[in-house]
Structure 1
Amino acid sequence: MGYRTIGKQLGEKATTVGAIIRKWMKFKMMVNLTRSGAPCKISSRGASMIMRKVRDQPRTTRQDLVNDLKRAGTTVSKKTISNTLRRHGLKSWSARKVPLLKPAHVQARLKFANDNLDDPEEEWEKVMWSDETNIELFGLNSNRRVWRKKKDEYNPKNTIPTLKHGGGNIILWGCFSAKGTG
């Protein structure tokens, strides 16, 4: 029979049937052979150690991880570390900057949200929201990088708290309400 006929009977594409038949003709087996390439230098235990360290300290650098593995008896490059972290779903991101909130601030915000949860829409049309920001003219606003998953960007371990003070700066203020911006 042809590949198409066999494919229709099995519910597979003709190209899939052809690949399977050619594999059988060449190797006389259906299991996948081991792939070529160098074996991974980092064992599953080493990968677990890396993941544990990054989970506990997301700001750790690749060089720190290379040094940790070297002490454990495995010499690897920074690229190998990156590949291992990426294989486990982590990527290097810039740490998010968030306001430094004390526990009292968190409680006050939660109380405000719960108190106003059932307010009618007309009530919110009377509210004006405002904020200010501090733009530093001098000094370093260096980017810190963290290893994290995409959904964990606002986890406190993965953020950099900011304070509103510093060298030469400009303070901008803005507001918005149901009527528009200001």
Structure 2
Amino acid sequence: MVRSKELSEAFRKKIVDVYESGKGYKKISKELVISHSIVQKIIYKWRTFKTTANMARSGCPSKFTPRADRKMLKDVSENPKISSRDLQQAFATVYAT
């Protein structure tokens, strides 16, 4: 399933403003041409956290930089039969601190 792009914070604030004016989820969704479940989730987040901004997501940050990812993909595409140990040693020599 493809993830859609996030709504802008200004648009989410607009949804909250329309909700505060007294309209329900279905009327807001028809007026702004978005799903009523999205409206419901935005209002729930606003009620719970008093914000419409993006919040931190769970998960560890990546150990590799985008540059290191590209280098690793290049090495593997040039030599598909390279072992993981050899790839680690190549990275240790290139990215040694």
Counterparts of 1:94-105 in structure 2 under 5 Å?
none
- Within the alignment, does 1:44 sit opposite 2:44 as a pair? no
CA distance in 2, matches of 1:56, 1:31: 43
Could you tell me how far apart the structure 2 residues matched to 1:52 and 1:31 are? 37
Partner of 2:37: 15
Unpaired segments of 5 or more residues in structure 1? 75-182
Which of structures 1 and 2 has the bigger CA Rg?
1
CA distance in 1, matches of 2:48, 2:96: 42
Aligned equivalents of 2:96, 2:43: Cα separation in 1 = 46
- Residue number in structure 2 paired with 1:73: 96
Q: Would you say how many aligned residue pairs link Structure 1 and Structure 2?
A: 74
Give runs of ≥4 in structure 1 deviating > 4 Å.
Answer: none
Q: Quick one: distance in 1 between partners of 2:73 and 2:35? A: 40
Name the % identity. Answer: 32
What is aligned with 1:33? 55
- Matched AA of 2:84: R
TM-score by structure 1 length? Answer: 0.36
For 2:88 and 2:43, locate their aligned partners in 1 and report how far apart those are by CA, in whole Å.
46
The letter of the residue matching 1:63 is: R
Larger RCO (alpha carbons 8 Å, 6+ apart):
1
Structure 1 residue 59, shift from structure 2 partner? 2.1
Considering fraction of residues, name the structure with more strand: 1
Q: CA RMSD in A?
A: 2.0
Letter in structure 1 aligned against 2:68: G
Q: Which of the residues 41, 57, 61 maps onto 2:83?
A: 61
Name the aligned partner's letter for residue 28 of structure 1.
K
Q: TM-score, normalised by structure 2?
A: 0.62
1:1-182 alignment to 2 at 5 Å? 1-71=23-93, 72-73=95-96
